[in-house]
Structure 1
Amino acid sequence: MLRRIILQIIDFFYQPFARVMPRQTFRYLACGGGNTAMDILLYFICYNFVLQKEMIHLPFIDISAHIAALFMSMAVTFPTGFLLSKYVVFSDSNLRGRVQLFRYFLLVGICILLNYFLMKLFVDRLHFYPTIGKIFTTALVVIFSYLTQKKFTFKVKQQSPG
């Protein structure tokens, strides 16, 4: 039922974009954008109010508040991103759920590394202003993520005739 409500809302807003992009792409952008906004909000709340910008002292390691907040927000947005991708965006995939989850986990890890290395490239090597570098990085990572999810993580296996 929740899936149906989410799809009705997204598809209502899809109409003006129908001529410029496929429905699945719009659903991906809507779900990914919503999940990203939630990630930023959770990060802000965790960093400023839960952790109060203070280091976390564990028995064998100290973790800075900005890194701890990153993990805290990802603890929520990783599963919501997976569930939105699985049930809203790429619901026609016939791969097993655990295969999808493992592939999604790999993809998120690759996207984190891509973000890091592309920011280093654009800002440190090419001397882009950081915000401009982040815009280019985000655009490239979103394109990579969409194509990877569509063709790998949530692909539709062809059924053998039979």
Structure 2
Amino acid sequence: MLSAARNIINKTIDFFHPPFARIIPLQTFRYLACGGTNTVLSLVLYSFAFNIILRRESTHIYGNVNITAAVGAQIISFCVSFPIGFMLSRYIVFPESNIRGRKQLFRYALATATFILLTYVLIKTFAIMLPMVRADISFVFISVITAVLSYLSQRFFTFKTTAEEELGDQ
């Protein structure tokens, strides 16, 4: 079933690649398609969780601890989009990686946590250093920075291919 799903996704993405083939390599195009789809899924899930599941109200956790609807919706969205993003990266974008799955998952989680922190720091930095720039414009710029760095970290760290790993898995 996984193989059939992989083939369908690859054929769908590859169908749209030819007009961009001269400027974007197939792997990068697959990364953009998978990442973009996962981002849209995350936004839809966030909106659904915020408006429908949580009804825009804080949720009581324990004692005096409450989670705002915005944070709760982010947690719900993340719990779905994180594993989907990992699976898309592992099986669609970087299937040639010869690193064991557990190690890939750990590295993916580490990179994801790093980029969540980086996004927070950049938002704060832009707000302090460039207060005249609208927050939404800053966020678009920050998103581009983190997307490029994310691709590079996945390609050269999380899902890299090395002869060293090949020998270790035999």
Compute the TM-score of the two structures, normalised by the length of structure 1: 0.96
Q: Which amino acid aligns with 2:40?
A: A
Q: 1:153 and 2:158 equivalent?
A: yes
Unmatched tracts of structure 2, length 5 or more: none
Pairing 1:82–2:93 present: no
Per-residue Cα deviation, 1:54-80 (whole angstroms, up to 9, x for no partner): 111011311001000000001100000
SS at structure 2 position matched to 1:150: helix
Aligned mate of 2:117, from 113, 118, 127: 113
RMSD across aligned positions (CA): 0.9
Give 1:156's aligned amino acid: T
| Cα deviation code 1:8-39 (max 9, x no counterpart) | 00000011110001110000000000000000
- What pairs up with 1:1-162 in 2 under 5 angstroms? 1-60=4-63, 61-127=65-131, 128-158=133-163, 159=166
Q: Partner amino acid for 1:27?
A: R
Runs of 4+ in 1 over 3 A off after TM superposition: none
Give the Å deviation of 1:123: 2.5
| Amino acid aligned to 2:8 | I
Q: What is the TM-score normalised by the length of structure 2?
A: 0.92
Q: Secondary structure at the match of 1:93?
A: coil
Give distance in 1, aligned partners of 2:160 and 2:134: 37
How many correspondences in the alignment? 160
Q: Which has the higher mean CA deviation after the structures are superposed, 54-63 or 8-17?
A: 54-63
Matched position secondary structure for 1:58: strand
- Deviation, 1:121, is 1.4
| Cα distance between partner residues in 1 of 2:140 and 2:127 | 11
